[in-house]
Amino acid sequence: MINARNKVYSTANFAMIEAYWNIGKKIIEKQGGKDKAEYGLGLIKELSTQMTKDFGKGFTVTNLKYMRQFYLTFPNGHALRGELSWTHYRSLMRVENEKARNFYLEEAIKSAWSTRQLDRQINSFFYERLLSSKNKEEVSQTIINLEKGATPGDIIRDPYVLEFLGLVPNTDFYESDLEQALITHLQKFILELGRGFSFVARQQRFSFDGRHFRIDLVFYNYILKCFVLIDLKIGDLTHQDLGQMQMYVHYYEREMMNEGDNPPIGIILCADKSDSVVKYTLPQDEKQIFASKYKLYLPSEEELLNELNKEYLSIENYIDEQKKMNELPR
């Protein structure tokens, strides 16, 4: 009964989306094409009056403008997706970058994002943050096909935005407070982590040689097929933090992995970090340990651009160093 009801709703929803797309197309055609569309406000007002008279509510000037923009943003009617609502499409229309928009569209479908979740991901620059952790030229292909040969670097991003925790920056709180807030808002935290994460344990304890250790949070990622260990730090990252995470990862790799699992990875979530500390503490080819900053508020566009520029500069410096090393006489 429920499945039948959902099927009816899905069919009606897609019919409405197609109707809105066709209305947008007709508006553009009547306005003489998209290049002249800005001159057709009078036409939209006339259409609004007539359609409201004929069909009732829902055809205000504002809504007709949305339908017109809908057609301009998604000109291929055959590519419309019935899994998304009209509200989803209105959110997607705000994204100017076509690659980013396509990414959000695919992720909204695959991860079954609500419109509220979609808005949150767009407002927190989810696409741009994922892009900043990868080679800029590779991201457009990899970002849509995360399941195909995914690596930890494809999924882990820097920074993570945790504005939903309600913690105020620059105030005193402990790592236990941060951990409790993440557990309280676990569903939102998993959304921020990305697709494929499931919660395993909190304060996972293990012991050897009479000494006891605890890992703050443990997840499993079904795309990477591995455990993901997360350690929380409210201060700056230190080389001791990285060394401790290496030990956690090595223990899990030798004692906790199941048959078919890939090696575990460790993420240290910290308030701030020095790239040099990471560079000179971890091996050059390290692929299991990651350090990411967290932000307790949504970053502004300017702040995000600064973060991205830092990432790109770091990548360029690394490439230059590799070139210089290759040029040295052997």
Question: pLDDT of 216-242, one tens digit each?
Answer: 999 998 888 899 999 998 888 889 999
Task: Read off the amino acid at residue 153.
Answer: G
Residue 140 has pLDDT above 50, yes or no: no
199 pairs with which residues across the strands? 219
Per-residue pLDDT tens digits for 21-59: 999 998 888 887 655 555 566 788 888 888 888 888 878
| Residue 146: band (very low, low, confident or very high) from pLDDT cuts 50, 70, 90 | very low
Q: For the chain, give every residue range classified as CATH 3.40.1350.10.
A: 151-300
Section 134-144 average pLDDT: 47
Angle at 88 between CA 14 and CA 29, to 5 degrees: 65
Q: How confident is the model at residue 318 (pLDDT cuts 50, 70, 90)?
A: low
* pLDDT given at position 139: 46
pTM assigned to the model: 0.56
Q: State the amino acid at position 226 in one-letter form.
A: C
Q: Judge whether residue 5 has pLDDT over 70.
A: no
Q: Is pLDDT of 19 > 70?
A: yes
Residue pair 115/85 in contact (Cβ under 8 Å)? The answer is yes
Q: Rounded to an integer, what distance in angstroms lies between the CA atom of residue 22 and that of residue 112? A: 26
pLDDT of residue 319 exceeding 70, the answer is: no
Distance (Å, rounded) from C-alpha 268 to C-alpha 241? Answer: 8
pLDDT, the chain, mean: 80
Report the CATH architecture of 151-300.
Answer: 3-Layer(aba) Sandwich (3.40)
